[in-house]
Amino acid sequence: MEPIPRHWAAVHETHAFPGRGTFALTVNGASDVSVEDARHDARRRLDALVAAGGPGQRGGSDHEYYPSRRLPEELLEEVHDEDGTLVAAVTRNRYGAAVLNTDVLLISDVDLPPEITGRTTSADTRSAGVGKRPGLLSRLLGGGRAERDVDNGSSGEGRGGAAEASGAAAHGTDAASADLPDELGGQGAGERGRAHAQILESIREFGRRHPDLGVRAYRTRNGFRLLVSGTGAHPASDRARALMEEVRSDQLYMLLCRVHDTYRARLTPKPWRVGADRFESLGTRSAEDPEHSDWVRRYGEASAQVAVCRLLEVTGPAPSALEQRIIDLHDRATRPEAGLPLA
């Protein structure tokens, strides 16, 4: 994969476009060489935008990623294979979560319909979320039962065992999960439960149509995540798009992958789901800034008792050694077999 830019710069200008009005434009540029080179990149991008007639009309007002724009992301970690080739990188996205970027294996997000999940705004979840967690954890962990250590470098219990138990829980055999399906990744009841079951069955059908691919299915707070090994499909390729469309992957996510030229997976909770203040309000992207490092510390503390996804099932051939390395990185960070609330 291409290196994640280490330097960012922005150009801010106001331009008038006939028949459309005046726009205050901000365009980010990136470079792996220098800040000055990033400024030149931003300048080129802004000039191209103006020459094309200005910004397009973006549908909707709540798109979380603004995926058609190139946005600054702090580089946290790079992963190389044995010959030094970059195979993955971890960045911090615009709202502060750590994100896995890789082209080694296909990653696809599939959302449950928001009207079924009862998805709330970030402001709603900030006011209602973290205060309920101690009681939930007490029920889930059986009072004083010790939490399983999932940060010891292992990706879990392999292709059966805990994964199968998680799959059973997702079908309603776990009482706590049935009570709070969005928190714990369970199926739930009623229309929401039927949607969960239908999407999970479509994922299984995808695996049956592609027996040569390994499919790891996870439940996220408001949908599903697939890690698919053996595709050999570049993130911007027609094959990647076709495979993601088969499972009805989120369209914004697909665009995000094409813009960044990598598959992406959020590794840490959304800040508002753990009661943390929003990262972008700090106005910083520098790891050297004390305000930045203080936010990272508070966010880490708030994230200690949640997971990002829950492993449901694993099918198909085993991944390659390199694919398994990326899967292990993902699973160590997201804690999919910890039995914790999803955030």
Is the distance from CB of 186 to CB of 174 less than 8 angstroms? yes
Are 235 and 277 found together in one domain? yes
User: Strands 214-220 and 263-266, how do they pair?
Assistant: unpaired
Q: Domain count for the chain, please give it.
A: 2
Secondary structure (3-state) at 312: strand
Assess if residue 129 is contained within a domain.
yes
Kindly list the distances between the CA atom of residue 152 and the CA atoms of 249, 306, 322, in Å, as whole numbers in the listed order: 31, 16, 19
How far apart CA 122 and CA 94 sit, in angstroms, is: 14
Domain around 6: 1-57
Q: How confident is the model at residue 292 (pLDDT cuts 50, 70, 90)?
A: confident
> Six-digit token pair at 24?
């205050």
Are 241 and 266 found together in one domain? yes
Question: What's CA 167's distance to the chain center, in Å?
Answer: 21
Is residue 165 scored above 60 in pLDDT?
Answer: no
Are 278 and 144 found together in one domain? yes
Are 306 and 186 found together in one domain? yes
How far apart CA 70 and CA 166 sit, in angstroms, is: 37
Tell me: the pLDDT tens digits for 36-49?
999 999 999 899 98
pLDDT at 126: 33
Are 120 and 184 found together in one domain? yes
Neighbours of 149 (CB within 10 A): 8
Are 97 and 41 found together in one domain? no
Give ∠ CA 28-34-37 in degrees, rounded to 5: 55
* 75: phi then psi, degrees, rounded to nearest 5: -85, 120
**Segment 61-66 long-range contacts (CB within 8 Å, at least 24 positions apart):** 63/252, 64/95, 64/252, 65/94, 65/252, 65/253, 65/256, 66/94
pLDDT at 144: 30
Q: What share of the chain is helix, strand, coil (3-state, %, to 5)?
A: 40, 20, 40
Q: Mean pLDDT across the chain, nearest whole number? A: 78
Q: How confident is the model at residue 7 (pLDDT cuts 50, 70, 90)?
A: confident
Q: Which residue has the higher pLDDT, 193 or 218?
A: 218
Are 179 and 299 found together in one domain? yes
Tell me: the pLDDT tens digits for 227-261?
999 999 999 999 999 999 999 998 888 988 888 88
Domain boundary, last residue among 57, 78, 93: 57
Are 5 and 128 found together in one domain? no
Are 23 and 132 found together in one domain? no
